[in-house]
Structure 1
Amino acid sequence: MKRSSYRRFMDGLRNVLMYIAIAIVCLLLIGVIGYIFVRGIPNISWAFLSTKPSPRSGTIGILPDLLNTLYVILMTLVIVLPLGVGAAIYLTEYATNKKLVRIIEFATETLSGIPSIIFGLVGMLVFVELFSLQSSLIAGALTLVILTLPTVVRTTQESLKTVPQSYREGSLGLGSGKWHMIRTVVLPSSVDGIVTGCILAVGRIVGESAALLYTAGVAHNILSLAQAVMPNTPGSTLTVALYMYASERAEFDSAFAIATILLILTFLINLAAKIAGKKLRKN
């Protein structure tokens, strides 16, 4: 009887502690997001979103930074998703040397923990100097490809591993080839992991500033997509602009407004990725 009462007490205590932990996490999240929104939303206006900064007139606009952020996201995802998903498919479905696979997995996990400023230094030496791309959005995007590639590879690989082996054997038993089996059975069953990798990559891209300071520059230039992929076309993203306004100019109202826009942009991109994943699963 005493043992049963003790177990009930411990179970109740464990539940209480878990609820307290959940409440603390939720309150912290709501507090941070709420504070950013309260400070940022009053400073957002159409002029703020649709113009470029002008030191002569003293106006602050983030249109170049917003466009450059979208360009960097697009260029990075176009390169990193095929590379990351393809590498994960090879490691999971084709690679036969298990020792080599373990080494590659350890290397990707190690790269995921390296500070982004180191990637920025490598990007500056390789893409900016060695490949003569100069400070440009394409140099920043290529640096972010290296930075986000380990995340995409590992999330996709773990998702591929969750597909039951019986699915593969059944498809092969019906006469499918290796690639046909992967394309029609394995990949549709692991769409959630691929979408998760895409969302994590977007979050890392949107929130990155250190690597882009070394490779993309801080210029507030309004560029077209065709110009963005060319060398020697520097451009500032929203995170870089936030850093500059907050640390260099002490304009915290503009910094909080940019932070609010970053949160909204990240939410919209993640929502679009979720919707795309659902449609792919239905198909």
Structure 2
Amino acid sequence: MKAKTIDKIWTIILYIVAIFVVGLLAVFLFYILYQGRKSLSFKFIFGSTENGGIGRQLFNSFYMLLISLLITIPIGIGAGIFLSEYASENRFVNFVRLCIETMSSLPSIVVGLFGLLLFVTTFKWKYSILSGALSVSILNLPSMTRVTENALRASAKKVKEASLGLGATRWQTVSKVILPSAMPEILTGIILASGRIFGEAAAFLYTSGMSAPELRFNNFNIFGKTSAFSLFRPAETLAVHIWKLNAEGLAANATQIANGASAVLIIFVLLFNVCARLIGNKIHKAYSGN
């Protein structure tokens, strides 16, 4: 059989597989949205838990996402820059990379138990947003670091020598040339981390708790327990709320609420990904001059 014929056969097979995967994903999304269509209302999305709404859980999810990203992004990008541009190639650095790759495959429930023992019990932060944010950051830091390092290495091959040849310092080259050109890939890593945070349940079960007390938005004390912006209050996220509804089913219409919450979760994840892609393209065009 000729090589061209073999290539055509493999191309057809890959197209079939791609169509099957896309179709399966479309059916999955349609099913979730169809099941939760009856609950998609303003009252449901922003309503209180007592009235069958998910307003508190939705706010907790976004607030947890914000705090987690504030921890993950600076440390992850900083570690990626160090490993890519400043660290020497030796056994210790290779061992660090091996540890990072190993940590990136840790099950979330293991990280949740670690957060329970360290942040909740040892540090006595109890079930809180800070405990949950730190725990889920442990999940995302390894992948964020690797994505940043790989993106910087790929971009550095094209522009690093030219920038240094023009008299720029190493930090000027990294901050003004390499980092902007690698921003689309880094943004992809941030999107993946955000999706994992927003949809995470196992780690938050043991660290942020399964209760959603009434939120007071006129109180900005991050150390109190009644403020909506407090870091030391329990915070049941939307994913945890869905799990609790399906596991316990204490509410009379638990299945309907869970279906609606799942649909809202999918919609917000899709919207976030689309917006992030658009922003990434804008950033890439701005720095590339297109």
Q: Normalized against structure 2, the TM-score is what?
A: 0.89
Q: Which amino acid aligns with 1:241?
A: H
Give the whole-Å Cα distance in 2 for the aligned partners of 1:161 and 1:124. 36
- Quote the Cα distance in structure 1 between the aligned partners of 2:154 and 2:228: 39
Measure the CA separation in 1 of the matches of 2:231 and 2:16: 52
Q: What corresponds to 1:70 in structure 2?
A: 62
Of 32, 57, 78, the residue aligned with 1:36 is 32
Task: Provide, for residues 144-182 of structure 1, a one-character-per-residue CA deviation record: whole Å limited to 9, x for no partner.
Answer: 111111111111111111114351121112111111110
How is 1:264-275 mapped onto 2 (pairs within 5 angstroms)?
Answer: 264-275=267-278
Take 2:65 and 2:238, find their aligned partners in 1: how far apart are those partners?
Answer: 12
* Shift, 1:232, TM fit: 3.9
Q: Distance in 2 between matches of 1:127 and 1:140?
A: 9
Kept in 2: contact 1:43–1:257 (CA 8 A) = yes
Q: Deviations over 1:191-222 (max 9, x none)?
A: 11110110010111011101101010111224
* Displacement of 1:228: 5.3
Change in 2 beyond 3 A, CA 1:96/1:228: farther
Check 1:145–1:203 CA distance in 2 against 1; reply closer, same or farther (3 A cut). Answer: same
Give the distance between the partners of 1:95 and 1:62, measured in 2 at CA: 46
* Aligned-CA RMSD value: 1.8
Partner letter of residue 267 of structure 2? I
After superposition, the Cα gap between the structure-2 partners of 1:204 and 1:94, relative to the gap in structure 1 and judged at 3 Å, is: same
Alignment of 1:261 with 2:264, yes or no, is: yes
Check conservation: 1:216, 1:234, Cα contact below 8 A: yes
Tell me if 1:82 matches 2:74.
yes
Counterpart contact for 1:81–1:152, Cα < 8 Å: yes
User: Which residue identity is paired with 2:15?
Assistant: Y
* 8 Å contact kept, 1:133–1:231: no
Matched position secondary structure for 2:168: coil
**One-letter amino acid of the counterpart of residue 256, structure 2:** D
1:180 is matched with 172
Task: Give the aligned partner of residue 234 of structure 1.
Answer: 234
Which range moves more in the overlay, 164-173 or 252-261?
164-173
For residues 77 and 122 of structure 1, what CA distance do their matches in structure 2 show? 20
Pick from 1, 6, 19 the counterpart of residue 10 of structure 1. 6
Task: Go from structure 1 to structure 2 and tell me whether the alpha carbon gap of 1:166 and 1:151 turns closer, same or farther (over 3 Å shift).
Answer: closer
Equivalent residue in structure 1 for 2:126, among 117, 134, 142: 134
Number of aligned pairs?
275
Distance 1:231 1:194 in 2: 27
Structure 1 match to 2:47 = 51
Gaps of 5+ in 2: none
Output the CA distance in 1 between the equivalents of 2:157 and 2:19. Answer: 40
Bigger CA drift: 225-234 or 11-20? 225-234
Shift of residue 77, structure 1, vs aligned partner: 0.5
Mind listing any 5+ residue stretches in structure 1 that lack a counterpart? none
When normalised by structure 1's length, the TM-score is 0.91
Aligned to 1:108: 100
Q: Per the alignment, in what secondary structure is the counterpart of residue 18 of structure 1?
A: helix
Would you say 1:244 and 2:244 are equivalent positions?
yes
Does 1:280 pair with 2:283? yes
Check conservation: 2:87, 2:93, Cα contact below 8 A. Answer: yes
Q: Secondary structure at the match of 1:162?
A: helix
